[in-house]
Structure 1
Amino acid sequence: MSVQYKTIEVNNINIFYREAGSRSNPTILLLHGFPSSSHMYRNLINELKDEYHIIAPDYPGFGNSDQPSMDSFEYTFDNIALLINDFVEKLNLDKYSIYVHDYGAPVGFRLATRHPERIQAIISQNGNAYEEGLLSAWDPLREYWKNPSEENKSKIRELFSAEFTKFQYVNGTRNPENMNPDAWNMDQFVLDRPGNNDIQLALFYDYQNNLTLYPSWHEFFRTYQPPTLVAWGKNDIFFGPEGALAFQRDIEDSEVHLINTGHFPLEEDLGLSAKLIKEFLGSRLK
């Protein structure tokens, strides 16, 4: 079955999503990170669609979804997760696995703690849930959280530049020349839209509230023990390997693979990532 590109209205916001595979197969909800969109899953979807039902939405302000004004939509992770929860319910997804990357983790783990009965498994690819996973690259953000001054905002705005967007993709990779520039150029196109920088600043500031939820996510892990595959780019400048290994502390059936690449493992290690997912879910979702 070919990939379909759809839009559905959720709470008066048009949410774009990619869908592939038969609904008779287990569903995987792919939740993207910053500064990306469901475009980051374009290749993985093709790898998985014959065996799984795939849903990959774009959050508001990202990708091909609407970018409502900050007056009409409060850009927080709570609000995005609530919207994606409503999106899931509108698509009648009763049970699914979540694949979380970067921002996908705070969105996905909110979905999981809200409706634990829906979660069949977790795939975390640089989707952090532990303090020890946060590296020194977060120091400017921690300063911004303490003091959201114009000076600190200016430092954060540098993270929205084309140079830094490319850096996120190529840093830590074995072969930077093999990285497809379409990936960061697509992200940059959205970052450069009028008003998007302010949206991203709001989300960066709100990210501090994700850390306060870590204990509740850990409690969810310990209580419900979702089978969890951690396939982590170990050279990520934001989320270190300690964050990957920490899942083993709370989840008995957790399998951790540290991959020799950067923040976006699917760009350099698509084949390995798809193989790990198929093997892991194939032995758990029976």
Structure 2
Amino acid sequence: MKNIIKSVATLLIVILPGILVNAQAKKASPATEAEAIHYKTIKVNDLTIFYREAGPKDAPTLLLLHGYPTSSHMFRNLIPILSKKYHVIAPDLPGFGFSDAPDHLKFEYTFDNLANTMQGFIDQLGLKRFALYVFDYGAPTGFRLALANPEKITGIISQNGNAYEEGLSTGWNSIQKYWKDPSQENRDVLKTFVTKESTWFQYHEGVSDPSLIAPETYTLDQHFLDRPGNAEIQLDLLKDYRTNVALYPKFQAYFRDKKPMLLAVWGNQDPYFLPAGAEAYKRDNPNATVKFYKTGHFALETHYKEIGADIAAFLSKLPK
């Protein structure tokens, strides 16, 4: 009898930990998978587009479009908050991050072409319905998508993504001068925008606590800006930004006609896009809500938890 008891005890010592580990793994796996971010690439119009994807694929989709001078890396803290209940996709635009950045003489860097590439991206992924998060350059790119695919858009989150002239600060003066006179002299002046000092400024200006700004953010952005030929890519896009301002009336007509559910989450100390640009959404769209946070351009760097909670509440009210 003692031998039997000893054998059973030994068996339990060997087997029980494995049973408990497997049980815990099975219990934890749904949460782990929901929080996992997958890093992928896809070919779109001969360009390799990098993107981050997380969350259940059968859940409502949210498409995140970054701005200048960053990439989908800016969403690294937001994605885990939202992917528990939503299918989140964040691509890098051509010329940014880990997506292809062909020479500006071989690829025309215009916002129409950025939108065309993103159109190919959503078509290849088969996205039928999705909410849209737009930031900075992602706004004119995303709003072009909304104009072309109004039936696909369930709602819009604009984080310092401008669509109104009153939202442009004096920080745009030298760029607007270049629009009026696209001389080499005026183009050369704008080279300051791609320097490490300018990148650092965009992340820190208007931020109450600079220690919240992770140094890998502006360091990674600058790494990509410093690639051979990338300065010319960015100068081409700065020149073409005038087409976005020309399209503002069409974007505004879309807001009036379609009245999409819209949440503007805005760093109110942004040196480039003023709070007036956020408030203006309410003028055209009765379904627009505006929330301000005391921070700068890259509001997610300092307020991702608050913004994430506000976006999650907003998404819960959207049509599926």
TM-score normalised per structure 1: 0.98
Contact (CA 8 Å) 1:124, 1:230: kept in 2 or not?
A: yes
Deviation at residue 151 of structure 1 after TM alignment: 2.2
CA offset digits 1:223-266 (Å, max 9, x no partner): 11110001100000000000000000111111101110000000
Counterpart position of 1:204: 238
Q: Does 1:11 align with 2:45?
A: yes
In structure 2, what residue type is equivalent to 1:53?
Answer: H
**1:104-158 CA distances to partner (integer Å, 9 max, x unpaired)?**
0000000000010000000000000001000100001011111122221222000
Q: Contact 1:20–1:54 (CA<8 Å) still a contact in 2?
A: yes
Task: Provide the rounded CA distance (Å) in 2 between the counterparts of 1:222 and 1:23.
Answer: 31
Given candidates 247, 257, 268, the residue that maps to 2:281 is 247
Letter in 2 for 1:204: L
Q: TM-score of the superposition, structure 2-length normalised?
A: 0.88
Residue by residue over 1:186-238, the C-alpha shift from the partner in whole angstroms, topping out at 9 and shown as x without a partner, is 10000000000000000000000101101111111111111000110000000
Task: Report the AA paired with residue 161 of structure 1.
Answer: T
Match of 2:73 in 1: 39
Residue correspondence of structure 1 range 1-286 to structure 2 within 5 A: 1=33, 2-285=36-319
Q: Unmatched 5+ residue regions in structure 1? A: none
Gaps in structure 2 of 5+ consecutive residues: 1-32
Alpha-carbon separation, structure 1, partners of 2:56 and 2:212:
32
**Runs ≥4 in structure 1, deviation > 4 angstroms?**
none
Q: Evaluate the alpha carbon distance shift between residue 154 and residue 72 of structure 1 in structure 2; reply closer, same or farther with a 3 A threshold.
A: closer
1:173 alignment partner AA: V
**CA positional deviation for 1:93:** 0.3
Q: Which amino acid aligns with 1:15?
A: I
Q: CA RMSD in A?
A: 0.8
The one-letter code of the counterpart of 1:278 is A
Aligned residues: 286
Shift of 1:73: 1.3
Report how far residue 69 of structure 1 moved. Answer: 1.8
- Structure 1 equivalent of residue 17 of structure 2: none
Equivalent-residue separation in structure 1 for 2:302 and 2:201 (angstroms): 14
* Matched residue type, 2:77: N
Q: What is the DSSP-based 3-state SS (H/G/I as helix, E as strand, rest coil) of the residue aligned with 1:174?
A: coil
Equivalent residue letter for 2:181: N
SS in 2 for 1:116: coil
Which has more radius of gyration? 2
**Structure holding more helix per residue:** 2
Deviations along 1:20-61, one digit per CA (max 9) or x if unpaired, are 011111100000000000010111111111111001000111
Q: State the identity as a percent.
A: 49
1:281, distance to aligned residue in structure 2 (A): 1.2
